[in-house]
Structure 1
Amino acid sequence: MTEPFKSSYKKLEYEKVIRQLAEHTVSRLGKEKTLTLLPTKEEQEIKTQLEETDDAYLLLRLKGGIPVAAFEDIRPHLKRVRIHGTLNGQEVAQIGRIIRTLREIKSFFNQAKEEAITLHRLYDKVENLDAFSSLERKINRVVDEGGYVLDDASAKLKGVREGIKLTESRTRQKLESIVRGPQARFLTDAIITMRNDRYVIPVKQENRTTFGGVVHDQSSTGQTLFIEPQSIVDLNNRLRQYQVEEKTEIERILSELTQDIAPYREDLEMHLSLLVELDFIQAKARYARSIKAVKPRVSTENAVSLFQARHPLLTEEEVVANDIILGEDYKTMIVTGPNTGGKTVVLKTLGLLQLMGQAGLFLPVEEDSTMGIFSSVFADIGDEQSIEQSLSTFSSHLTNIVSILKQMDNQSLILLDELGAGTDPQEGAALAIALLDAIAQKGSYVMITSHYPELKAYGYNRPETINASMEFDVDTLSPTYRLLIGIPGRSNAFEIARRLGVEDGIIDTAKQLMSGESQSVDHMIEDLEAKRKSAENQAEKARVELREAEKLHRELKEAHKEYQNEKVSLKKKAETEANAIVEKAKSEAEAIIKELRDKQLEGTHQGPLKEHEFIDAQTRLSRLKTEEESLRKNKVLQKQKKKKTLKVGDAVHVQSFGQKGTIIEKADANQWVVQMGMLKMKLPEADLVQSEEEEAPKQRVSIRRSSGPGVSTEIDVRGERVEEAVQQVDRYLDQALLQNYPKVTIIHGMGTGAVRKGVHQFLQKHSQVKKFEDAPANQGGNGATIVTFK
């Protein structure tokens, strides 16, 4: 890369943007990668980077971002693994944190797929991501988050550490008896401390022989000796031995774990690169959110349209957004206007946003803005080099421009601030025009700022060239910093002088001294500004509303498309699930009905066949039944149903149960009491459909019903044979269940115990029996059994 191109980064403040971007990373490696980000002129690479940023921005908005936690550079650790070194606990823990992050990222993207979040690039990027599950489990069994080797890493380590705790406890107990007992008067302080990894106490110099043992240290004055009393020497020795064993065992455990990590070394290094890449991509998304940036369109024809472009380094309070358009209808823009009017800021904004876009960053512009793809961006802004090289301002600018002319091509973007300044105005204007002609012959794209009135005429007369200016409010004598494309700037000197109190006669004399050409140009500009302001007030609202309408239309179109896709998908899924449920329920209900009817016809079902069993089975089937679409929509049939008035004695079809019944009485304005077999129910009128009496079927299934009084809560089967007793109990339990009794009593007597045993065996197999037990002593003891239903 050439030096002038590098100098453009500094002049356009690109490096400041990259430093701000780097602050959004979570790792040192991610920050280092970000700081090396440079623009590219490769179309596919630009689009890929923008799409990656777009993916991360979408995930940031919908799910809070990719779960990339802070991580360390584990490459030195992996290098030591390669040369068969042993990792320490902290290094193992750092590898474990990266593996956990990889697992969380894999889970995150799997969930995003399940939620049908559409991404351009990131699914492919993480497709081969490995969660290293088995290695993570091994690491978690050995070390904690801080790298401390856990007690349960091995049985031996656990035993050694228990020995350390026990020995330390005994040592401290002995020392506590000294520092808290009568011998404390021999100490300078009642504390227990450590010297040379051994427990000691501070003893006065004159009492050094009182406790015996070993002197390990003394105070600076020599008045205090740190002595290991003879009574704890053996304990300290044992503690030291445990500590040596602990260290040896930890080294063995970490050595084995390092060997377990070795086969994954290359894969871990590749996944570290992926983590760095994801950290970098997410930083671009976070930076975009911080400056309220959007994804620009990319024009390979360099038709730049940056709507409401803002300089990213200025705060919202400072910046004034401007539409910057270049490249489609004109390749050269000449911006004129007063000093401090914002011309240089507009120049820098165009160059900086173009560099950011070609580096894959979102731009602080409105939706539907378009960036170009330039082979290079050259800028000559400011006069810093004049100080560094002891050159005049004019010489400094000219040196830069000569370098640009040598390197530019037809895909270059050239930004020139105050072209031709620093010399005689007439010569400077002529030189500026000649330079613009040279750039135009090369086909480059250029934006310049200038004060020369000659360049205003140049902007009118040259093809693919347009004038622009920075608006100035004469009433407030201050610039508005708004870029006006198509209108050249004027000095406004006479208007400013008049408002500041200069006499009209002086101003008129000054106007007479101006050349006719200059006056005509000023009149032309004044007329253009008047027309512009008139049209702008009318067009601004329409333009904003049009953009909002287009944006809303686009969003609605996308939402409608998503809705239709989701609707079809959900309908198909629901139909499939509903059909499966209906088929299963239908076959089960039909099987139950067939079984009950077969038993009745064969006479194998002892006792009365209960009507509620038929109703229950048929109801399960009828609840899954849905009227055909044509019948539901048939207004004639619906009206016929409504015409019939229900009355007591009518035969009706109960739709919710799928059963026929007879109306017994009217419950209230909207409800009737209906008899369905043995059941009476209060039902809403909307659930009843009047039906005609049907002819009696040729063959009926006989159902015996009990006509006697209510069922008792107990049954006596004493004196019966076992088989007969069980059959009676079976029929009785059915009747009791129908009466909704919570529990009943079966009296079977004691006797030989055969009846009791047979009844208990039957109860064990009964599906509706929750439990059964012998009756209390005052109710028959083991001669009776109390049965509790479910």
Structure 2
Amino acid sequence: MDKLISQLDLQAHIEQFQSFFAREDNLYIEGDQELHYRYIKALDKIEFNAPPKVNDFFALKNHLNKHGVLTFEQIFEIVKVVRYFRYFKNKNLECLIGEWVSKIEVPEKFLEVEKYFDTQGHFEENLDETLFGLSQRIKEHKNEISSSLKHLMGSSKLAGYLVDTQIHFINNEECLLVRGGFNHVLKGAVVGRSTGGFFYVAPDSILKSKEKIRYIEQERQAIFYNYAKEFSKTLEELLPFINFVDKEFSKFDNYQARVLFARSKDLAIIKSKNHKNIILKDFIHPALHQAKPINVNFEKNILMITGVNAGGKTMLLKSILASAFMAKYIIPMKVNEHKSDIGNFKDIESIIDDPQNVKNDISTFAGRMQQFSQIFLKKQALLGVDEIELGTDSDEAAALFKVILDDLINRGQKVVITTHHKRLAALMADRDDVELLAAIYDEDQRRPTYEFMQGIIGKSYAFETASRYGIAHRLVDEAKKVYGDNSEKLSLLIERGSELERELKQKHKKVDEKLEELEKKEKALKDQREALFKELELEKTKLKDSYKEAINEAKRAARGGDIKDIHRAMNKANKKLPKEEKAEIKRDYDFKVGDEVKYHSQSGVIVSMKGKSDATIDVNGMKVRVKTKHLTPTKIVKAKPKTDVRLSVEKKAGLKCDLHGMRADEACEVLDKFINDALINGWDEVLVYHGIGTGKLSHAVKEFLKVHPKVKKFEDAPAHMGGFGAKVVTL
């Protein structure tokens, strides 16, 4: 991997990226890459502080497994990780990250260890009374030493020997800097010499205090060691928890490093997808500064890059391979993440450098052949080859590399190559799975544009490049003559083809801009239509609710016993129905007996007419008199001969039918008409009064309702609506 990173000029980019890790880790995140990407994108939506730098847990976990004693520094590494997770947990995030950190529960035993460390990792000595007392004693002895030294410096006997009036700290000892002969007035040990030949002397008067401090420090260290043993024993019991937070922190560290690195450089976080295409939009290689963005559509098996020397062909090849590498490892890059689409490759290989090795007696071409032999061992790899013709005769190489490329395609490899082989390009150009790309040369400015055009073979512009880099014009002109007229004509044809392609590119650009504008307008119209549709659906829902409420009011009115209550309830229901103005439909035809018509949602036939405004229709065996303005003709036939039979029904069906005082046959006829009218008017529940009396009328009504095809069920009415003397009929 390091070699590939170096070949693709990604070292600086990767080093900057790795500096954002809290601790050193691999570029690849083990596990489900799609899940990792979801966590990274979720974390990218949150503002958070970077984690502290943390050492690896490998050594400390080994110590705990072997019942060893950890140092306070090692213990504090675990504390830092736990405290950072607690910081995130306290943010109370309602997202994927919040769900994740909320599952990290810190055991109570660990809290007993954690409380002994401050934010800098120092041991909280004030929590232990003995340690606190020892610290105070050390401070007292140090004050005694300081006072003693100041007293000596103020001594008149020693004043003539003092070089300065400072306390020097040499070899962990407080010293005075004195001249030779000091031993007559100062007893002490020489601990060093200055560059001026003076002596650093530790006075005997402070040695007793220093010795006491050493004894106290030993006592303190013994207490610290006991604490370390106690903490290590507790952490040994919590080893599963430590393993868990270690693993979770490694994942989080990978996530946060990518997010914070992308934010610092304004980069995009993009993941490779499960296909073999590479579509780049506005990609900039991290090694380039103020570079032109690269746009490439590499969906075929081979991408062949030709064109002007020093025109960016090699950097384009490196950019394609680098984008695939960074997407594979979810490393942030400069690219349009919404319009780019990068596939996933098991292996990414590059043949870029000159493999010539004098020590091993390997020529450039021989080294290239060794490199290609290794490529044949891989499957479904992304391969980049720079200057494929390097090191051998161009004509022979064209035939050889054509066969090699054919075989690589059959093995499922995806190959990017740069070449000046016009013959090789011509041999491969007729294949459907080969994409041509040419570096463009600006004839007016006489320099490369560092832009590329698809579908053509580019000219090398060797003569122009030589002139640009200082070769004398007379030598270039002579070389052109040697090159020959026919070859020059071929180059001109290639150049003309490039010009035509550039013109076509400009036209395509304008068309794309217009198309993009039309797409925006189309999207705006779609959004407007969706908004209107939602508004319409909302109004429909309101109408349905109003209709349902009105029906319920009508049903409640039907169950009422008082006529006035019924009318009041019906009026209330009618008010709740939405008002609709109906335009009067003018009929320019006359209805006749025998015409097939439609009345509301029912179909029927006209059986008789009364003038031109009233008609009696037969609807499924029911005779109904209606206004002709409410009829719609469906099929007009010749009128049948008139008969003397006359039928009439009430204009509007009621919700109640009173059969009191009628004979059985008369009551059944009235009841039949009542039910037919109720069905036409859309009622699904009516009330029939028959009384109790001798029971004959009640029996006749029951028998009639039992056999009527439109009656679903019937039952005795509630007491307040007639009780046994009435029936509630469901239609």
* Separation (CA, whole Å) in 2 of partners of 1:182 and 1:486: 97
Instruction: Please tell me whether the aligned partners of residues 88 and 254 of structure 1 are also in contact (alpha carbons under 8 angstroms).
Output: yes
Q: After superposition, what is the alpha-carbon deviation per residue over 1:698-731, rounded to whole angstroms, capped at 9, x for unaligned? A: xxxxxxxxxxxxxxxxxxxxxxxxxxxxxxxxxx
Alignment of 1:219-258 (within 5 A): 226-229=202-205, 242-258=216-232
Greater helix fraction, Structure 1 or Structure 2 = 1
Structure 1 position 295, deviation (Å):
3.9
**C-alpha deviation, 1:483, in angstroms:** 1.4
State the secondary structure of the residue aligned to 1:384.
Answer: coil
1:441 aligns with 2:410: yes
2:506 is the counterpart of 1:537: yes
Q: Distance in 1 between matches of 2:288 and 2:171?
A: 60
* AA in 1 matched with 2:440: E
The answer for the alignment partner of 2:282 in structure 1 is 308
CA-CA distance at 1:32 after TM superposition: 3.7
Aligned to 2:135: 161
1:572-721 counterparts in 2 under 5 A? none
- 2:367 is matched with 396
Deviation at 1:485, TM superposition (A): 0.7
1:455-534 superposed matches below 5 A = 455-492=424-461, 513-514=485-486, 519=489, 522=491, 525-534=494-503
Distance 2:369 2:174 in 1: 79
Return the match for 1:338 from 308, 317, 320. Answer: 308
Q: Does 1:33 align with 2:26?
A: yes
User: Separation in 2 of the partners of 1:149 and 1:288?
Assistant: 37
Deviation at 1:91, TM superposition (A): 3.9
CA contact (8 A) 1:203 1:226 kept: no
Distance 1:504 1:99, change over 3 A: closer
1:536, distance to aligned residue in structure 2 (A):
2.2
For residues 210 and 505 of structure 1, what CA distance do their matches in structure 2 show? 96
Give, in whole Å, the separation in 2 of the partners of 1:102 and 1:556. Answer: 48
Q: Which residue of 2 aligns with 1:364?
A: 334
1:202-252 Cα deviation digits (max 9, x unpaired) = 9999886989xx8555776998975434xx888677666545544444444
Distance in structure 1 (CA, Å) of the matches to 2:170 and 2:491: 92
RMSD: 4.7
Displacement of 1:54: 2.8
**Conservation of the 8 A alpha-carbon contact between 2:76 and 2:117:** yes
Q: Does the Cα contact within 8 Å between 1:75 and 1:269 map onto a contact in 2?
A: no
Q: Write the distance in 1 (CA, Å) between the matches of 2:479 and 2:182.
A: 107
1:55 counterpart residue number: 42
Does structure 1 residue 430 correspond to structure 2 residue 399?
yes
Which position in structure 2 is the counterpart of 1:285?
A: 259
Q: Following the alignment from structure 1 to structure 2, what is the Cα–Cα distance between the partners of residues 269 and 81?
A: 11
CA contact (8 A) 1:87 1:255 kept: yes
**In the TM superposition, what is the alpha-carbon distance from 1:369 to its structure 2 partner?**
0.7
Q: Which segment is superposed worse, 165-174 or 363-372?
A: 165-174
Q: Which residue of 2 aligns with 1:724?
A: none
Deviations 1:345-392 (A, max 9, x none): 111111121122112224432222111122333322231345564333
From 88, 105, 109, the counterpart of 1:130? 105
CA distance in structure 2 between the aligned counterparts of 1:161 and 1:339, rounded to whole angstroms: 75
1:380 pairs with one of 351, 363, 381 = 351
1:662-719 Cα offsets, whole Å, 9 max, x none, are xxxxxxxxxxxxxxxxxxxxxxxxxxxxxxxxxxxxxxxxxxxxxxxxxxxxxxxxxx
Relative distance call for 1:274 and 1:222 in structure 2 (3 A) is: same
Q: Which residue of 1 aligns with 2:701?
A: none
Task: Check conservation: 1:216, 1:228, Cα contact below 8 A.
Answer: yes
CA, structure 1 residues 47+15, in 2 after alignment: closer, same or farther (shift >3 Å)?
Answer: farther
Distance 1:202 1:507 in 2: 82
- Bigger mean CA deviation after superposition, 17-26 or 463-472: 17-26
**Number of equivalent positions:** 521
1:514 match: secondary structure? helix
Q: Which residue of 1 aligns with 2:611?
A: none
Measure the CA separation in 2 of the matches of 1:481 and 1:266: 56
Give the Cα separation in 2 of the matches to 1:557 and 1:159.
79
d(CA) in 1 for partners of 2:208, 2:271:
80
Match of 2:87? 104
- Distance in 1, matches of 2:61 and 2:139, equals 35
Partner secondary structure for residue 238 of structure 2: helix
Query: 1:72, CA displacement in angstroms?
Result: 2.7
Separation of aligned partners in 2, 1:358 and 1:443: 18
Mark the CA change 1:287 to 1:196 in structure 2 (over 3 Å): closer, same or farther: closer
Larger displacement relative to structure 2 (461-470 or 437-446): 437-446
1:139 matched to 2:114 = yes
User: Bigger shift: 524-533 or 306-315?
Assistant: 524-533
Q: Is contact 1:310–1:365 with CA below 8 Å preserved after alignment? A: yes
Q: 2-side partners of 1:531 and 1:198: how far apart?
A: 85
Runs of at least 5 residues in structure 1 that lack an aligned partner in the other structure = 562-629, 631-790
Paired residues of 1:284 and 1:361 also in contact (CA < 8 A): yes
Q: Is 2:323 aligned against 1:353?
A: yes
Aligned-partner SS, 1:423: coil
Letter aligned with residue 395 of structure 2:
Q
CA contact (8 A) 1:56 1:285 kept: yes
Seen in structure 2, the aligned counterparts of structure 1 residues 54 and 542 have a Cα distance that, compared at 3 Å, is: farther
- The answer to whether the Cα contact below 8 Å between 2:389 and 2:397 also exists between their aligned partners in 1 is yes
Q: Which residue in the other structure is 2:559 paired with?
A: none
Give the counterpart letter for 1:403 in structure 2: Q
Aligned residue for 1:390, secondary structure, equals: coil
Task: Tell me, in whole angstroms, the C-alpha distance in 2 between the residues paired with 1:378 and 1:239.
Answer: 65
Quick one: higher RCO (CA 8 Å, sep 6+), 1 or 2? 1
Aligned partners of 2:22 and 2:53 also within 8 Å: yes
Give the SS at the match of 1:58. coil
Counting only pairs closer than 5 Å after superposition, residues 735-774 of structure 1 correspond to structure 2 as: none
Change (3 A) 1:246 1:529: closer
Q: 1:135-174 CA distances to partner (integer Å, 9 max, x unpaired)?
A: 346433x344455444412222223333343455456556
- The residue number in structure 1 matching 2:689 is none
Alpha-carbon distance between aligned partners in 2 of 1:501 and 1:201, rounded to the nearest angstrom:
80
Separation in structure 1 between the aligned mates of residue 200 and residue 266 of structure 2, nearest angstrom: 68
Q: Judge conservation of contact 1:474–1:495 (CA < 8 Å) in 2.
A: no
CA distance in 2, matches of 1:162, 1:91: 27
Q: Does the 8 A contact of 1:376 with 1:412 survive in 2?
A: yes
**For the residues of structure 2 that align with 1:175 and 1:493, how far apart are their CA atoms?**
83
CA distance in 2, matches of 1:466, 1:195: 74
CA contact (8 A) 1:299 1:372 kept: yes
Give the whole-Å Cα distance in 1 for the aligned partners of 2:222 and 2:334. Answer: 60
Paired with 2:463 and 2:209, the residues of 1 have a C-alpha distance of 100
What are the superposed Cα offsets for residues 565-592 of structure 1, whole Å, 9 maximum, x if unpaired? xxxxxxxxxxxxxxxxxxxxxxxxxxxx
What code does the residue aligned with 1:357 have? A
Pair 554,33 (structure 1): closer, same or farther in 2 beyond 3 Å: farther
In the alignment, the residues of structure 2 paired with residue 210 and residue 7 of structure 1 have an alpha-carbon distance, to the nearest angstrom, of 70
The one-letter code matched in structure 2 to 1:279 is D
Whether contact under 8 Å (2:173, 2:202) holds in the other structure is no
The answer on 1:24 being equivalent to 2:20 is yes
Structure 1 residue identity aligned to 2:103: N
Superimposed CA distance per residue, residues 609-633 of structure 1 (whole angstroms, 9 cap, x where no aligned partner): xxxxxxxxxxxxxxxxxxxxx9xxx
Contact 2:269/2:330, CA 8 A, preserved across alignment: no
What is the distance in 1 between the residues matched to 2:323 and 2:474? 43
Change (3 A) 1:550 1:389: farther
Read off the aligned partner of 1:425 and give its amino acid letter: S
Do the aligned partners of 1:378 and 1:413 also contact (CA within 8 Å) in 2? yes
Tell me if the contact between 2:284 and 2:334 (Cα under 8 Å) persists in the aligned partners. Answer: yes
Deviation by residue 1:521-566 (Cα, 9 ceiling, x = unmatched): 65654453333232322332554686799899999999xx9xxxxx
TM-score (norm 1): 0.56
The offset of 1:467, in angstroms, is: 2.1
